[in-house]
Amino acid sequence: MSNLSVAVVGHANAGKTSLMRTLLRDSEFGEVEDQAGTTRHVEGGGLLIDESKILSLFDTPGLEDSIALLEILQNDPQHKNSDGIERLQAFLNKLNDYPELQQEAKVLRAILNNDLIFYVIDLREPILGKYLDELKILSFAAKPVIPVLNFTQQGSENIASWKTQLARLNFHAFVAFDNVHFKFSDELKIYQKMQSLLADKELLLTELIKLRESQWQETFDTAKKLVANLFIEAACARYEAENNETAIAAQTKRLQQLVRQAENSCVKQLLQLYQFRQSDLENEALPVQHGQWELDLFSSDNLQEFGISLGGNIAKGAGIGVAIDVAVGGITLGAAALSGGAVGALWSVKQRYYDEIQAKIKGKRYLCVDDVTLQVLWLRQLKLLATLQQRGHASFDKIAIQNSANISPDNLPKQWNAYLRKLHAYPQWSSLNRATKIGDSSKRDKFLKALISEI
């Protein structure tokens, strides 16, 4: 297996395990707590490039007493003229003399055994001597080091001073990477920095970058598909009810329940897709209201649809007429073809509007999700999607889906009303409706694509 391995090191509580979690998209990796000494062993996770290539990442315990360690490494009288690696080896050989530095020894072993080092810096912290000592110790290993500036948002005021300090110590290839406020472009920068430091692994890292980009894009595309699909499901849903209060209340409740279930299922899938825990979510129930399904035979969308179907079915109907005529050897070929055309058109109307007309005659009503609810649903999902795109896997804050999303025409697709009219014309597109028929899915797919392009 063609490998590249990285030791993730840093001071206690700097966010090493969080970095691992975010890069591996694994909220369960290691242990993360707001105190020193949480990680007490070296634990690895790998990003698979293909069957034979892997980028291994090793999480290490925090360097908690670099001052004492550096003192030992620098002032060992037996190794006054030794280089850094020899000094580290000498220290590890007589580790029994320093039982209080067992954790640091693990870090030293990790940096000696791996190809590259990520040094995680908590930007919220001022530049302290112990951090500079840590960097000096890392330089003993003679391995490329990439300082990873964590907590860029909360520690923004320290960025400049850290950068200056890093440059003074000859670390120029640093990257900003916030584990909590995640940006995929920052992740790519890490790999690009690795490329510039490890010339012999350039191809491997190019492959990794391409793979990560395609995986990220695939995740985003899939998420958009889920959101657009949910919208279609909800907007096309309709329930028939007798025209009395009890029946309407009962059907409204059912409709609300099903739309909420559909939304929950979508959210669950989104969380799974981005590999977050289900418990990360703090959800407010969608306030599903109901409107009345309008039977608008003559809306422009319906007419257009009707027109297309009419043409198609006239031809099909004509086909039926001709076939019957020929079969019986009759002579009214023209009339039969014409009547066949009329049958085709009627069939088309029946197919599309039979249920509605029947409901109208019987004095029943169709209930559907109203416009405002659909707007809330759409905006909630978009907000959730944006949150998931920027959330690190080490975040502890709950993801809030609230109904307070700003509903205004500016936040909605420009063709919102046209979309709704179209969706109302296709109840068969929603699996929330009772009877779903085998039918043409290409129009739904086309509409789904149009909706996806709005996200």
Among 79, 130, 181, 364, binds another protein (CB under 8 A): 130
Residue 366: strand pairing partners = 240
Q: Pick out residues in 335-374 that bind another protein (CB under 8 A).
A: 337, 344, 347
- Does 307 bind another protein (CB under 8 A)? Our answer is no
Q: Of 242 and 301, which CB lies nearer to another protein in the complex structure? A: 301
Distance CA(381)–CA(231), nearest Å, equals 9
Among 2, 83, 94, 126, binds another protein (CB under 8 A): 126
Radius of gyration of the chain (CA): 32
Q: Among 143-151, 183-191, 313-321, 393-401, which window interacts with another protein (CB under 8 A)?
A: 313-321
- Segment (H or E) for 282: strand 281-283
Distance CA(235)–CA(202), nearest Å, equals 49
Q: Pick out residues in 254-273 that bind another protein (CB under 8 A).
A: 265, 268-269, 272-273
Distance CA(18)–CA(21), nearest Å, equals 5
To another protein, the closest distance from the beta carbon of 243 in angstroms equals 31
Q: Pick out residues in 217-236 that bind another protein (CB under 8 A).
A: 218-219, 221-222, 225-226, 229
- Segment (H or E) for 53: strand 53-59
Among 24, 310, 374, 377, binds another protein (CB under 8 A): 24
Q: Of 119 and 241, which CB lies nearer to another protein in the complex structure? A: 119
To another protein, the closest distance from the beta carbon of 272 in angstroms equals 6
- Does 11 bind another protein (CB under 8 A)? Our answer is yes
Q: Pick out residues in 134-193 that bind another protein (CB under 8 A).
A: none
Q: Which of 41, 339, 20, 374 is nearest to 177 (CA)?
A: 20
Among 94, 400, 439, 453, binds another protein (CB under 8 A): 439
* Sequential DSSP letters for 130-161: HHHHHHHHHHHTT--EEEEEE-TTTTGGGHHH
Among 15, 147, 317, 427, binds another protein (CB under 8 A): 317
Q: Pick out residues in 41-60 that bind another protein (CB under 8 A).
A: 41-48, 51, 54, 56, 58
Among 203, 441, 449, 453, binds another protein (CB under 8 A): 441
Q: What are the two backbone dihedrals, phi and then psi, of residue 390, each rounded to the nearest 5 degrees?
A: -115, 20
- Segment (H or E) for 399: strand 399-401
Binding mask 320-339 for another protein (x = CB under 8 A): x-xx-xxxxx-x-x---x--
Among 160, 199, 361, 438, binds another protein (CB under 8 A): 438
Q: CA 82 → CA 61, 70, 76, 110, 137, distances in Å?
A: 26, 14, 10, 20, 14
Distance CA(447)–CA(427), nearest Å, equals 14
Q: Of 66 and 375, which CB lies nearer to another protein in the complex structure? A: 66
- Does 6 bind another protein (CB under 8 A)? Our answer is no
Distance CA(122)–CA(45), nearest Å, equals 22
DSSP state of 191: H
